[in-house]
Amino acid sequence: MNVPTPGSHLTASAGSRNEQTRRHNLSTLLTLVHHHGALSRAELTKLTGLNRSTIGALNTELASAGLVFESAAQESGTVGRPSPMVNPSADIVALAINPDIDAIEVGAVGLGGEVLSRARRATASVPTPSEALEIALELIEDVRSQLASGTTIVGVGVAVPGLVEADSGTVTRAPHLGWEDVAWGEQLSDALGLPVQVGNDAAVAVVAVAVFGAGQGAANLMYLNGSASGIGGGVIAGGTRLVGANGFAGELGHTLVNSEGDACYCGRKGCLETEVNLNRLHAAAEASGIAAADAVAQLAATSSGPFAAEVDREADVLAHGIANLISVFNPEAVVLGGFLGDLYGARQERIRTGVLADAFAPLGDNVRIERAQLGDELLLVGAAELAFGPLLHDPSGWKAKS
């Protein structure tokens, strides 16, 4: 972007000191190898535009901190001296936790984004905050014991299905968990002696999608996830996640799609979440003689009957809702996760043409619609990204404690 678009520099940010340059460059390098995977020094030079000397110095600093390590050059087959690869050190680990209505899941994710180990425990009922905390701590023990010795844990990231106050790590309101104003992050941090970052699950997921998943490389991205608890979402706009004034932006499940629709618990009616809905799918499946538990797996099974009609209807409404949001965000990619991904799998053409027909003229044409990848690792990787955040922002002065 050579020519600045209007409004690209509204806030006069703080002044930049000389040493911040170093921080920024270290951060850039580490973030690059973390998100992109191993890169040669020559590639880093090109990508950053920095001088070879500088890349060398920065690289040495990161390596001596144990954050990256160099390995032999790849067989390139081209002329010229081979350039050694700079790898993210998988010994640098973030823990990821996802407390949900029916289970607690914990994982360990290495720098580079690989899930190194994980553990999950189903709960008989929706866990209370203290139950969840207890189970999480036990699972963390499990997960840590599976890690190779010599790993360093930089912190913990938590993905919670609810509104979260990021600064304090407080769960303001998680309706499906029944939690309200719980300082879960603080409690966890006290118990572990590690820094803990808490985020909304959809916000966490969209980051994972953007960095490691189907949305890789897209600076403008919409993610919609369908689960038993409704439709959550997140937006990446201009390379940054849409946060909003209170961190609550991106409640995409509550955009209007049908003004004659059912009442939503949010107080309105006809929200995307009330019209495109797992319960409705389950009910229609049973009306067609399909067990509710099999509904998602059987989405494409029948072409007639009440179930197929409901699947068609939900596909149409989803397309309508996506088109509506496209005219607001003008994204280059829309990623669908959870049962929305399955719905898209079963009615791909219907949804795709529906979006095209419905979207404001030029906007829909170039949009990529995709199912989420990463599957059940999505939230873990995203939550780990939360925990990696401070390290990625400022790798200077960081030392692996090992």
Partner DNA sequence: AGGTTATGTTCGTTTCGACCACAAACGAAG
Partner DNA sequence: CTTCGTTTGTGGTCGAAACGAACATAACCT
- In whole angstroms, the minimum distance from the beta carbon of 76 to a copy of itself comes to 23
Per CB under 8 A, contacts with a copy of itself among 308-337 are: 320, 323-325, 327-332
Report the C-alpha gap between 296 and 347 in whole angstroms.
12
Measured from the CB atom, the residue of 75 and 349 that comes closer to DNA is 75
Choose the contact partner of 27 out of a copy of itself, DNA, none; CB within 5 to 8 A by kind.
a copy of itself
Choose the contact partner of 255 out of a copy of itself, DNA, none; CB within 5 to 8 A by kind.
a copy of itself
The H-or-E segment that residue 74 falls in is none
Report the C-alpha gap between 249 and 396 in whole angstroms.
32
User: Count of CB atoms within 10 A of residue 70's CB?
Assistant: 16
Choose the contact partner of 87 out of DNA, a copy of itself, none; CB within 5 to 8 A by kind.
none
| DSSP state at residue 245 | T
Q: Is 6 in the site for a copy of itself (CB under 8 A)?
A: yes
- Both tokens of 81, joined, read 């001296």
Per CB under 8 A, contacts with a copy of itself among 69-128 are: none
Report the C-alpha gap between 242 and 187 in whole angstroms.
28
Using only the alpha carbons of the chain, give its radius of gyration: 23
> What is residue 116's three-state secondary structure?
strand
SS (H, E, C) 157-202: EEEECCEEECCCCEEEEECCCCEEEECHHHHHHHHHCCCEEEEEHH
Report the C-alpha gap between 101 and 78 in whole angstroms.
54
- In whole angstroms, the minimum distance from the beta carbon of 179 to a copy of itself comes to 15
Measured from the CB atom, the residue of 58 and 380 that comes closer to DNA is 58
Q: In 3D, which of 380, 399, 381, 383 has the Cα closest to residue 391?
A: 399
Q: Is 243 in the site for a copy of itself (CB under 8 A)?
A: yes
Choose the contact partner of 77 out of DNA, a copy of itself, none; CB within 5 to 8 A by kind.
DNA
Choose the contact partner of 371 out of a copy of itself, DNA, none; CB within 5 to 8 A by kind.
none
Count of residues that bind a copy of itself according to CB under 8 A: 102
Contact residues toward DNA (CB under 7 A) are: 15-19, 21-22, 25, 40-42, 45, 49-58, 73, 75, 77-84
Interface with a copy of itself (CB under 8 A), residue from 80, 150, 267, 397:
267
Interface with a copy of itself (CB under 8 A), residue from 99, 162, 250, 341:
250
Measured from the CB atom, the residue of 3 and 79 that comes closer to a copy of itself is 3
The H-or-E segment that residue 81 falls in is none
- Both tokens of 318, joined, read 């989803």
Measured from the CB atom, the residue of 43 and 370 that comes closer to DNA is 43
Mark residues 197-236: x for contact with a copy of itself by CB under 8 A, - for none: x-x---xx-xx--xx------xxx-------------x-x
Dihedral pair phi/psi, residue 230, rounded to 5° = 120, -160
